[in-house]
Amino acid sequence: MGLLAAAIAVGLAALGAGIGNGLIVSRTVEGIARQPELKGSLQTTMFIGVALVEAVPIIGVVIAFMVMGQ
């Protein structure tokens, strides 16, 4: 049962991060298309957002290892 819970946790974390990254990047491209002069600022903010979103699957993997260890 622990293995199933770990697999679900990692899978959902990866799915959520993928959707989140897609939304962040698409909105950034949309913003750059509307105001090209803000490209640098928007890209910086995008990279910070992507990094924060990518922390979610890493935390999911840690939780999965914790569940498997019990």
User: Which residue range is the domain that position 52 belongs to?
Assistant: 1-68
pLDDT at 14: 92
For the domain that residue 44 is a member of, what is the CATH number?
Answer: 1.20.20.10
pTM: 0.82
Mean pLDDT of 17-36: 96
pLDDT digits (tens, 9 = 90+) for 34-65: 999 999 999 999 999 999 999 989 998 998 88
Counted domains in the chain: 1
Mean pLDDT of 15-36: 96
Rounded CA-CA distance 29/34 in Å is 9
Rounded CA-CA distance 35/42 in Å is 10
